[in-house]
Chain A
Amino acid sequence: MTVESTAPRKPRRSSGTKRTSARRTPQQQSSEPQLVQLLTPEGERVEHPEYEIDLTPEELRGLYRDMVLTRRFDAEATSLQRQGELGLWASLLGQEAAQIGSGRALHDDDYVFPTYREHGVAWVRGVDPTNLLGMFRGVNHGGWDPGTNNFHLYTIVIGSQTLHAVGYAMGVAKDGADSAVIAYFGDGASSQGDVAESFTFAAVYNAPVVFFCQNNQWAISEPTEKQMRVPLYQRAQGYGFPGVRVDGNDVLACLAVTRSALERARRGEGPMLVEAFTYRMGAHTTSDDPTKYRADEETESWRAKDPILRLRRLLEREGHADEAYFTGLEEESEALGKRVREAVRAMPDPDRLAIFDHVYADGSALVDEERAQFAAYQASFADSADSAEGGK
């Protein structure tokens, strides 16, 4: 096998679970860079010498459901933006396998540091999807308590969160805890100094962190050639930890590789870089126009590798799901869409004095003074107006 990977061999797990399908080996030949793949675009299981996975039919259906519901949520958010209910939306369309696969590899006590696009990871962490929409609607800058689901707030400044993840992981190690930390970032973000510094710190302090880069081929209009000249996962080697490229549209491979990387971190063997090779099928955000820089043929060729379709083919091929299952899931999707739509439309604007909330944990005389002045100013409208228009 010539799969390029600087990853260590995973210790064999003794598995009592019955394997769910026959595997083909070796990997299918393709013109793409070599990557870890366990499920072909045609939905066939393949072997990989270093990464194994045994999933029950129920677990496979679970991954499928996660991806379908995440995509439905994402589509709903996109249309809510079009309807003016959200100011902006960053769609994950095409990246469901990378997010669900890596997300389902996490333990409850692991900690996640996302970018602004990790809606699928949020889903598997149990963050209510409607919570993700507040910042895109413009009613808050976060909207959930990171401690509840060990899922940090979205970070818009690219790359910053990788350092936070490493610091958190350093803390985990100091505490002697056996949990791990995962930091998500994009191919474009990999150019930021913060990301390079996070690699350095992680290596030097042997931090239990997995760097999970979703290489979706684009950073707004800039293709990966404008960010790097060697495959991204190889960068890890220069810092002294392993890196591996995984088929980011293959949920099984993303799960297996991330699980292995997290286990390694938990065993105290330090950081690892996982590059999920995937594709951003939609626009960068709803403000972006990819026709300015991207060829339709490219998008079409990736559409053929759709992560959801691929798993569906496996489920059908192996007879793990029948028509009733798919219909039921379709209904569940519709219900989710409806719930999200209604929740967003009902989401109130914050009180105007909320501007002054939480500026300091200890409070601030200056903030109090400005709040009082602003409140008095607002009240002056309510007094002078016939209606209560100016107040709130």
Chain B
Amino acid sequence: MTEFDAATAAVQAALDAGARYADARVMHRRYESMTARNGDVEELTQDESIGLGVRALVGSSWGFHAVPDLSDAAARDAGRRAARTAMASARVPGPPVDLVPVEAVTASWASGCQIDPLGVPLSDKGDLLVGATRTMAEHGADLAEGLYQIWDTAKWFVSSEGHRIDQRIRECGGGISATSIGDGETQRRSWPSYRGQYGTTGWELVESLDLAAHAAQIAEESRALLTAPPCPAGETDLILGGEQLALQIHESVGHAIELDRILGWEAAFAGTSWLDLAQLGSLRYGSELMNITIDPTIPGALGSFGFDDEGSPAVKRDAVRDGRWVGVLAGRDSAAMASLDYGGSVRADGWARLPMVRMTNVGLEPGPHTLEEIIAATDDGVLMDLNRSWSIDDKRLNFQFGCEVGWEIKKGRRGRMLRNPTYTGIGPLFWRSMDMLSGETVPWGTPNCGKGQPGQTGHTGHPSAPARFRNVRVGVSA
């Protein structure tokens, strides 16, 4: 029995049990991670998981059931259970459910991969992390940490509309961090970011990060931060590095344009959105420099795929154009409910989880400047980079971010290093204050986006570059 056979059996059983629509995904995922600390491997974990999840629509109610068994009997039982669960949903019914049309296709897709990350010898991968963390420890870090993660996922998708799609997505990445512990506080510097950089690529991505070459510098900077002056409190011009701006996009744009949030489906947990569908196409989200795209077709970015988890093909769309809000992240049912004509942004983090609206690659198109030009054009401000903490309200308006490091900007020059830099603001006001944007774009990968109940961890990508924002409140402290 093939994976497609199991998915087909589950779909047919759901239809036989009364579903008017059903789809099923078999997923086989291999995962490997290694962490190292202070020159020793700390933990090596390998996981292999395979199973089937089937979704059934009975009337206007959904049900989902997942099992780790691909036998014909188990698949059919899962399909029947999904339909039965959907019938239970009808005890508290909602509005009619429709699905925006998607062409049923038979297709295969695979992400690019030059060096199979699971094929790289563990000893080589261990040596990389051990060497980098040892160097950080030798250069003053109290805690020198390194990690990599690898996901190798094969999916087989079948729907009652005739989809038959298989995909192979390989993702990996890693990074290092140096922590110095002072009297009552800690300071950390990381490369290239706290959890590293990730993409839908092979091991060549990790090699390109050149972890060893940056180990000494970040260790020394983490120690230096312990005695650096604190970030001053007040309003000033703020220049954000690209990695921090990627998280700013993720939190204050990506989540806000999720249609399930806008419709209230996440109201009790992840929250809603400040956006009102009646303003789609007209709302001023940010300055005219702000052009945000939803683009799962970017080769190598972490939010890339061929088809989403309900069979919609990857398509690039605008979310914000010239500062105006023009698009959302949607699934087939949420789009139909909102009278939109596209989905394409629905994914699940495993076979046991229900597909839901998730970010793909939500990124900022490049601007005309360089970071150095932005600094040179700034008379008085703060440059912050690499995220340390992130928090935003349930409507995605009020945010506060902390960064690992800041630098004074005086008269167009980078000055002293600043510790504990934080900034806070309101999403649309903040984005409207963006007046300079660089073209040094990097597709930052975020492998830890939490959403949904039961909880799911999404993988998203965020092309971004350094930018300047005017009159931002910085230096908030306890």
A, B in one complex: no
Interface residues of B (CB under 8 A from A): none
Interface residues of A (CB under 8 A from B): none
